[in-house]
C-alpha cells in the first residue's frame, strides 16, 4: 500500500539546507498496522506529514498503492486538530460534505461514528466543552468517517491519561481489525507499538534512517489483555534494545 525508497526531506535555512529525515526506505502492505518508533526529534512527524501529503517537497520516491494520488489519507495528530468553532457533530460533517455527501448523509455518517467512539451524547458540544480525551475521540471519529485507504496517527494518545490511553488503544484495535484499514502509528511508547502493530520500524536519531524492522508475533484479534501475556515483556524489551542499540554514541 505504501512504498518509500530513499525518502529524504530537508528544510531550507538562511544559509543552507538542514536534513530533517532520511534517507528512509520501507514498505507497508495493504491492511497492515505499522508503527514507527525513534528518539524525540528524529523526524517522525516530518515522515508522518510526508506520507500524508502535507509535505510535498522531498527526494527519493513515495508510492501510495494502486490508488495513487486519489488515495484517501486521514491523519490524527497529538494536538487534536478539531475546529474550535464547530461542534463535535459539525467537525465530522465537514469533511463528509467536502467529499460530496448530502447534508442528510453527512449527518447520519457523523452520528454513526460518534456512536462508535462513544461520544454521541456530546454531539452538540464545542471543543472547549470537551476533555482532551473526548476531543481526541472526535478527531479519530472524523478521520475514520471518510473511510480512508490509509490512517496516519502521530502520537495521538501522548497528551491523555494512562487509563483513557488504554481505552482508546482498545477501540482503535477493534476498529482497525474490523475495517482492515492500512494504519501507520508514530509513537514513543514501546508497549503501545508492540500492542497495536504487525511490525515496528525503528528509526535512528535525526535525520532518521531505518535501523531495524521487528515483526510482532501475536495473532489478531487483540485487546489490551495482551499486556499480561508471558512473552509480551520480552518483545517490548527486544524493541527497547533495538532502538537503544541503534542510537548509542554521538551522531
User: Residue 2 belongs to what H/E stretch?
Assistant: strand 2-12
Place of cell 488503544: 169
For residues 166 and 24, what is the distance between their CA atoms, to the nearest angstrom?
Answer: 30
pLDDT tops 50 at residue 249: no
Rounded alpha-carbon distances, angstroms, from residue 33 to 98, 152, 177, 189, 197: 27, 10, 9, 15, 5
Are 44 and 36 in contact by the 8 Å Cβ rule? The answer is: yes
Q: How confident is the model at residue 122 (pLDDT cuts 50, 70, 90)?
A: very high
User: Residue 8 belongs to what H/E stretch?
Assistant: strand 2-12
pLDDT at 68: 54
For residues 71 and 2, what is the distance between their CA atoms, to the nearest angstrom?
Answer: 11
Place of cell 492500512: 182
Q: How many C-alpha atoms does 101 have within 13 Å on its Cβ side? A: 18
- Reported as a single tens digit per residue, the pLDDT across 172-204 is 888 888 888 899 999 989 999 999 999 999 999
For residues 201 and 213, what is the distance between their CA atoms, to the nearest angstrom?
Answer: 4
pLDDT tops 60 at residue 69: no
For residues 158 and 137, what is the distance between their CA atoms, to the nearest angstrom?
Answer: 13
- Reported as a single tens digit per residue, the pLDDT across 14-61 is 566 788 898 999 999 999 999 999 888 898 999 999 998 899 999 999
pLDDT tops 70 at residue 250: no
- Domains in the chain (CATH in brackets) are 26-194+221-246 (3.40.50.300)
Place of cell 521487528: 214
Neighbours of 17 (CB within 10 A): 10
Using left for φ > 0, alpha for ψ between -120 and 50, and beta otherwise, residue 82 falls in beta
- Reported as a single tens digit per residue, the pLDDT across 137-170 is 899 899 989 888 899 999 888 777 788 888 888 8
Neighbours of 205 (CB within 10 A): 17
For residues 196 and 183, what is the distance between their CA atoms, to the nearest angstrom?
Answer: 10
- Reported as a single tens digit per residue, the pLDDT across 79-96 is 778 899 999 999 999 999
Amino acid at each position: 500500500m505504501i512504498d518509500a525508497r530513499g525518502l529524504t526531506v530537508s528544510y531550507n535555512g538562511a544559509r543552507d539546507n538542514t536534513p530533517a529525515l532520511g534517507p528512509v526506505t520501507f514498505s507497508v502492505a495493504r491492511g497492515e498496522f505499522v508503527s514507527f518508533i525513534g528518539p524525540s526529534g528524529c523526524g517522525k512527524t516530518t515522515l508522518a506529514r510526508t506520507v500524508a501529503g502535507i509535505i510535498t517537497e522531498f527526494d527519493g520516491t513515495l508510492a501510495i498503492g494502486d490508488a495513487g494520488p486519489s488515495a484517501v489519507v486521514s491523519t490524527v495528530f497529538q494536538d487534536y486538530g478539531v475546529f474550535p468553532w464547530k461542534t463535535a457533530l459539525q467537525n465530522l460533517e465537514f469533511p463528509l460534505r467536502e467529499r460530496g455527501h448530502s447534508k442528510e448523509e453527512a449527518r447520519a455518517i457523523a452520528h454513526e461514528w460518534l456512536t462508535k467512539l462513544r461520544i454521541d451524547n456530546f454531539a452538540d458540544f464545542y471543543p472547549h466543552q470537551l476533555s482532551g480525551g473526548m476531543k481526541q475521540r472526535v478527531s479519530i471519529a472524523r478521520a475514520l468517517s471518510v473511510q480512508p485507504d490509509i490512517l496516519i496517527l502521530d502520537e495521538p494518545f501522548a497528551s491523555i491519561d494512562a487509563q483513557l490511553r488504554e481505552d482508546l488503544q482498545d477501540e482503535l484495535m477493534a476498529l482497525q481489525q474490523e475495517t482492515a484499514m492500512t494504519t501507520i502509528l508514530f509513537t514513543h511508547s514501546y508497549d503501545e507499538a508492540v500492542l497495536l502493530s504487525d511490525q515496528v520500524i525503528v528509526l535512528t536519531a535525526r535525520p532518521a534512517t531505518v535501523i531495524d524492522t521487528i515483526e510482532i508475533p501475536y495473532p489478531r484479534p487483540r485487546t489490551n489483555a495482551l499486556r499480561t501475556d508471558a512473552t509480551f515483556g520480552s518483545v517490548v524489551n527486544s524493541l527497547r534494545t533495538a532502538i537503544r542499540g541503534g542510537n548509542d554514541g554521538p551522531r
